[in-house]
């Protein structure tokens, strides 16, 4: 299939391109490079031994996006492009609504008149909000707490309503849990700009000597060791879920949790990373981070039942691949 991949130069996008091409799809990337670099696409191309076609375009640029869609005539879209930092979303709400919500509306407008019948949307488990029960299943009520979470939930609703009005189309919403890890080649991986917000890239930067120590945000949660518990998923497993979604039901809207179903605490993650990297990760316990919840975990059985997808890579592979990427690229893509 001809697949338009918005935000394809990013962390999850590049890993997904590898799986898409392996499955015989023809991607075209659209990326503004606001939070990614062209080098990531060059390296992805090396891994699949072909040039990855891309157009530099922000999803807010309606006319440019329309021209790209008219020319490429996609049969499907995987919509990754968006802003994703929770803290920043509270400081810059207008940007988040603009990129994540208006960007999605622009995409739908740009797709009018094309062959596109299928959209796979990059959403987040953050749309559930404070858990009423765990593991979250897809029927768990959505109560998005941050601006970021609200924009993702709005985009889900926009796509669902678009699908209803266009019954010959299919929308697949993938709610990611906590993506970590890197491609086994260590050529592509997560490369956050500035101070990492997320646990795994922070640990990796401590291990490689870019930062002195990790701050553990709270050890007084109601969890086995008091630190926050999350469902970490290897980015290559997550990438495969997108390919599975392209082959899912031909019409209708479907929502899937994409996680492993297993939770690990912050201290579990430190221990597993130390083992993978063969070094110690200095850390200090500090206060809770505003907005954090104690634990979250996926019930991923729906994706297994309906998409035939399940996570295959465990914690050791998540940590080892992150370490290999970070060690080979201590400054991320900037090293080249
Ligand atoms: C965060 C986002 C979430 C987003 C997800 C994407 C917040 C509040 N939530 O989730 O919306 O979908 O990333 O991956 O930002 N931790 C530390 N020290 C650190 C960093 C994190 O102790 O320096 C802890 C956190 O308190 C948490 C766990 O590590 O218990 C995981 O944190 P993180 O990687 O930021 O992910 P989430 O908070 O689950």
The DSSP line for 215-275 is: EEE-S-SSSTTSS-EE-EEEHHHHHHHHHHHHTS-SSEEEEEEES-S--EEHHHHHHHHHH
Do 214 and 270 contact (CB within 8 A), yes or no?
Answer: yes
Cα 123 to averaged position of ligand 1 atoms, centre (Å): 16
pLDDT computed for residue 334 by the predictor: 86
Residue 121, strand partner residues: 79, 173
Q: Which of 176, 228, 267, 294 has the most ligand 1 atoms within 8 A of CB, as the residue to mutate? A: 228
CATH number (domain holding residue 30):
3.40.50.720
Inside any domain, residue 270: no
Decide whether any atom of ligand 1 lies within 6 Å of the 224 Cβ: no
Each residue's pLDDT tens digit, 260-285: 999 999 999 999 999 999 999 999 99
What is the domain count for the chain?
1
Check whether 90 has a pLDDT greater than 90: yes
Residue closest by Cα to atom 6 of ligand 1 = 178
Each residue's pLDDT tens digit, 109-143: 999 999 999 999 999 999 999 999 999 999 999 99
Do 186 and 329 contact (CB within 8 A), yes or no?
Answer: yes
Instruction: Supply the mean pLDDT for the chain.
Output: 97
Mean pLDDT of 290-304: 97
Mean pLDDT of 39-66: 98
Inside any domain, residue 329: no
Inside any domain, residue 271: no
Q: How distant is the alpha carbon of residue 133 from its chain centre?
A: 23
Inside any domain, residue 164: yes
The domain of 51 spans: 2-180+234-259+298-311
Q: Can you give the pTM of this predicted structure? A: 0.97
Check whether 8 has a pLDDT greater than 80: yes
Inside any domain, residue 214: no
148 catalytically annotated? yes
**Options 96, 136, 148, 264, the catalytic residue:** 148
Residue 175, strand partner residues: 123, 257
Q: Give the confidence band of 335 by pLDDT, cuts at 50, 70, 90.
A: confident
pLDDT computed for residue 193 by the predictor: 92
Inside any domain, residue 50: yes
Tokens of 120: 């796979």
Q: Give the confidence band of 336 by pLDDT, cuts at 50, 70, 90.
A: low
Cα 25 to averaged position of ligand 1 atoms, centre (Å): 33
Q: Where are the beta strands (DSSP E) in 42-189?
A: 54-56, 76-79, 118-124, 170-176, 178-180
Q: Give the confidence band of 249 by pLDDT, cuts at 50, 70, 90.
A: confident
Nearest alpha carbon to residue 95 among 27, 34, 141, 22: 34
Q: For residues 116 and 119, what is the distance between their CA atoms, to the nearest angstrom?
A: 8
Q: How far is CA 96 from CA 176, 222, 312, in A?
A: 18, 32, 33
């Amino acid at each position: 299939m001809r697949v338009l991949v918005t935000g394809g130069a990013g962390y999850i996008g590049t890993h997904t391109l590898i799986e898409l091409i392996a499955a015989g799809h023809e991607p075209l990337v659209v990326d503004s490079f606001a939070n990614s670099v062209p080098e990531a696409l060059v390296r992805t191309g090396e891994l699949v031994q072909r040039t990855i076609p891309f157009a530099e375009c922000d999803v807010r640029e309606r006319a440019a996006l329309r021209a790209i869609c008219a020319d490429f005539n996609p049969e499907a879209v995987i919509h990754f492009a968006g802003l994703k930092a929770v803290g920043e979303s509270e400081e810059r709400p207008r940007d988040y609504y603009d990129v994540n919500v208006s960007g999605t509306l622009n995409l739908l407008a740009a797709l009018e008149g094309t062959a596109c019948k299928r959209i796979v949307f990059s959403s987040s488990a953050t749309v559930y909000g404070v858990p009423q029960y765990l593991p979250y299943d897809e029927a768990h009520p959505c109560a998005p707490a941050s601006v970021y979470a609200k924009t993702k939930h709005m985009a889900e609703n926009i796509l669902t309503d678009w699908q209803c009005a266009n019954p010959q189309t299919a929308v697949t919403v993938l709610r990611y849990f906590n993506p970590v890890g890197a491609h086994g080649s260590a050529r592509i991986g997560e490369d956050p700009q500035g101070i990492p917000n997320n646990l795994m890239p922070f640990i990796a930067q401590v291990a490689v000597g870019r930062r002195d120590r990790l701050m553990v945000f709270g050890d007084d949660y109601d969890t086995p060791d008091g630190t926050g518990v999350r469902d970490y998923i290897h980015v290559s497993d997550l990438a495969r879920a997108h390919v599975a979604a392209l082959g899912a039901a031909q019409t209708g809207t479907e929502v899937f949790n994409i996680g492993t179903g297993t939770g690990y605490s912050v201290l579990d993650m430190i221990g597993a990373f130390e083992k993978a990297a063969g070094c110690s990760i200095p850390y200090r316990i500090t206060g809770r981070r505003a907005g954090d919840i104690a634990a979250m975990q996926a019930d991923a059985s729906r994706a297994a039942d309906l998409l035939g997808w399940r996570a295959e890579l465990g914690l050791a592979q998540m940590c080892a691949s992150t370490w290999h990427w970070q060690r080979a690229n201590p400054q991320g893509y900037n090293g080249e």
